Amino acid sequence: MKVGMTLGLSNIEYSKIMREYEKRQVNRKFILDNRKREVLLKIPKFKELEDELISEAIKTAKSAINSPSKDKSQDISESVLLIEDKKRSLLVANGFPEDYLVEKFICPHCKDTGYIRNKKCTCFKQAIVDMLYQQSNLKHTLHKENFSTFNFDLYSKQENNGQPSPRANMEALVNLSKDFINNFSSNFQNLLFYGNPGVGKTFLSNCIAKELLDRGNTVIYLTAYQLFESLADITFNRNYDTSDNNLYEYILNCDLLIIDDLGTELTNSFTTSQFFLCINERILKKKATIISTNLAIKQLASDYSERSFSRLYGNYQFLRVYGDDIRLQ
Ligand SMILES: [Zn+2]
């Protein structure tokens, strides 16, 4: 993935997303028109009810013009509801689902327009993020790695030196992650998972990412290597724009940023200071970040600048993940 190649969305990419939304609308209309035709063909009486609805609408309009003061809307809407009810019964009686002619949206929030009152819907922002990061592989991973595929049996129940068993520890971490998700919009929190490779840190992050994406949040997943590459590009190529199609804006403003494998990247003084700016800015904006690392805390403290570490230490929950390497099982 060449994150550094694009600092923002090109017009071509932008119109690609717009076309996707248009396609959805056209598809929806196509399906609905076909269904309507099918229903009218099978249930001729359905047309009568449709006509009744139209004349009700005309009545409403007329009465509003003739006597603007008198509130007739109550009984008129009741008769409309009655007709709608009859339509549904007719559908069911003829073997159709009762919502057969109800439009179904992929995103009910914006009804697949991408916008809510001139503002981009989160689904649109996520589409931009996915385009910027070519994150389609993330979705593929999340399909396989989520709470429903989590297997506690991979963790031993054996206690060691008085510390909780890996299994008990993981159960506690999963519960904590679920709390993190459920309180996401009301309670600003950051998590830092640390522990040996292969004990399930990335899996936990992915579980959280999936839930929050499903709930309409914007999520960016980057390995530390990718993040530092992007930060280096931004540092050395300052002519990026500040529109919200911009990569850096999304790193700072997305609802959840996941930085995987911190400690495996190549760093220099520029990138470490950019790293500080990034995590600090997100803390100030109260935007959640999840970091996972194979480094021990001591190592973390010595590898990163003191001010970065103190921001992490003061604002992140440090959570140790341990057990056998689940990738080998
Ligand atoms: Zn939407």
**pLDDT tens track for 315-324:** 999 999 998 8
Instruction: Examine the domain organization and report whether 140 and 45 are in the same domain.
Output: no
Residue 11 in tokens: 């017009």
Checking if the pLDDT of 102 tops 80, the result is yes
> For residue 110, how far is its CA from the centre of ligand 1 (angstroms)?
4
> For residue 125, how far is its CA from the centre of ligand 1 (angstroms)?
9
> For residue 24, how far is its CA from the centre of ligand 1 (angstroms)?
12
Q: Measure the CA–CA gap between 138 and 227, rounded to whole angstroms.
A: 15
Local structure of residue 267 (DSSP, 8 states): -
Going across the sheet that includes 288-293, the strands are 219-223, 256-262, 288-293, 191-194, 317-320
- Give residue 256's identity as a one-letter amino acid code: L
Phi and psi angles of residue 292, each rounded to the nearest 5 degrees, phi first = -125, 145
Domain boundary among 85, 115, 145: 115
Average pLDDT over residues 258-281: 87
Instruction: Examine the domain organization and report whether 143 and 279 are in the same domain.
Output: yes
> For residue 119, how far is its CA from the centre of ligand 1 (angstroms)?
10
> For residue 281, how far is its CA from the centre of ligand 1 (angstroms)?
27
Average pLDDT over residues 103-107: 88
Beta strands 115-116 and 119-120: pairing type? antiparallel
Domain assignment present for residue 129? The answer is no
Instruction: Examine the domain organization and report whether 17 and 105 are in the same domain.
Output: yes
Checking if the pLDDT of 134 tops 70, the result is no
Checking if the pLDDT of 75 tops 70, the result is no
Total number of domains in the chain: 2
Instruction: Examine the domain organization and report whether 109 and 191 are in the same domain.
Output: no
| 175 torsion bin: left (phi>0), alpha (psi -120 to 50), beta (else) | alpha
> For residue 23, how far is its CA from the centre of ligand 1 (angstroms)?
14
Instruction: Examine the domain organization and report whether 218 and 97 are in the same domain.
Output: no
> For residue 120, how far is its CA from the centre of ligand 1 (angstroms)?
8
How confident is the model at residue 3, as a pLDDT?
37
Burial class, 224, CB count within 10 angstroms (exposed 0-12 / middle 13-18 / buried 19+): buried
Instruction: Examine the domain organization and report whether 313 and 232 are in the same domain.
Output: yes
Checking if the pLDDT of 272 tops 60, the result is yes
- Give 181-184 contacts, CB < 8 A, sequence gap 24+: 181/208, 181/211, 181/212, 181/215, 184/212, 184/215, 184/217, 184/255, 184/256, 184/288
The answer to whether residues 128 and 9 touch, using CB atoms and an 8 Å cutoff, is yes
Domain assignment present for residue 127? The answer is no
Band of residue 58 on the pLDDT scale cut at 50, 70, 90: confident
> For residue 291, how far is its CA from the centre of ligand 1 (angstroms)?
28
Band of residue 69 on the pLDDT scale cut at 50, 70, 90: low
Percentage of the chain with pLDDT > 70?
87
Query: Domain range spanning residue 208?
Result: 135-328
Band of residue 1 on the pLDDT scale cut at 50, 70, 90: very low
> For residue 103, how far is its CA from the centre of ligand 1 (angstroms)?
15
Local structure of residue 246 (DSSP, 8 states): B
42-76: burial string, b at 16+ Cβ within 10 Å, e else: ebeebeebeebeeebeeebeeeeeeeeeeeeeeeb
The answer to whether residues 257 and 222 touch, using CB atoms and an 8 Å cutoff, is yes
**CATH number of the domain that 205 lies in?**
3.40.50.300
Give DSSP secondary structure letters for 155-212.
S----BTTBPPHHHHHHHHHHHHHHHHHTTTTS---EEEE-STTSSHHHHHHHHHHHH
User: 219 pairs with which residues across the strands?
Assistant: 256
Average pLDDT over residues 289-306: 92
Residue 275 in tokens: 């790293």
> Where is average pLDDT lowest: 151-160, 225-234, 241-250?
241-250
> For residue 294, how far is its CA from the centre of ligand 1 (angstroms)?
37
Q: CB count, 10 Å around CB of 170?
A: 24
> For residue 216, how far is its CA from the centre of ligand 1 (angstroms)?
8
Instruction: Examine the domain organization and report whether 158 and 15 are in the same domain.
Output: no
Domain assignment present for residue 94? The answer is yes
> For residue 213, how far is its CA from the centre of ligand 1 (angstroms)?
12
How confident is the model at residue 319, as a pLDDT?
97
How confident is the model at residue 7, as a pLDDT?
44
Domain assignment present for residue 123? The answer is no
pLDDT tens digits, 202-243: 889 989 988 888 787 888 888 898 888 877 777 666 555 555
Checking if the pLDDT of 4 tops 60, the result is no
Instruction: Examine the domain organization and report whether 91 and 228 are in the same domain.
Output: no
Domain assignment present for residue 242? The answer is yes
Instruction: Examine the domain organization and report whether 193 and 66 are in the same domain.
Output: no
How confident is the model at residue 166, as a pLDDT?
93
Q: Measure the CA–CA gap between 314 and 194, rounded to whole angstroms.
A: 16
Checking if the pLDDT of 72 tops 70, the result is no
> For residue 206, how far is its CA from the centre of ligand 1 (angstroms)?
22
Most confident segment among 23-37, 123-137, 177-191, 265-279: 177-191
231's CB contacts (< 8 A; 6+ apart) are: 271, 274, 275, 278
> Where is average pLDDT lowest: 112-126, 138-152, 255-269, 304-318?
138-152
Q: Would you call 216 helix, strand, or coil by DSSP?
A: coil
The answer to whether residues 323 and 200 touch, using CB atoms and an 8 Å cutoff, is yes
Angstrom distances, CA of residue 129 to CA of 217, 246, 266: 11, 9, 24
Domain assignment present for residue 126? The answer is no
Domain boundary among 87, 115, 143: 115
Domain assignment present for residue 237? The answer is yes
Instruction: Examine the domain organization and report whether 45 and 162 are in the same domain.
Output: no
Instruction: Examine the domain organization and report whether 199 and 292 are in the same domain.
Output: yes
Q: Measure the CA–CA gap between 132 and 126, rounded to whole angstroms.
A: 10
Domain assignment present for residue 128? The answer is no
How confident is the model at residue 240, as a pLDDT?
53
Beta strands 288-293 and 191-194: pairing type? parallel
Checking if the pLDDT of 268 tops 60, the result is yes
How confident is the model at residue 5, as a pLDDT?
33
Report yes or no on whether pTM surpasses 0.85: no
Average pLDDT, the chain: 85
Report the greatest alpha carbon distance in the chain: 85
Instruction: Examine the domain organization and report whether 229 and 313 are in the same domain.
Output: yes
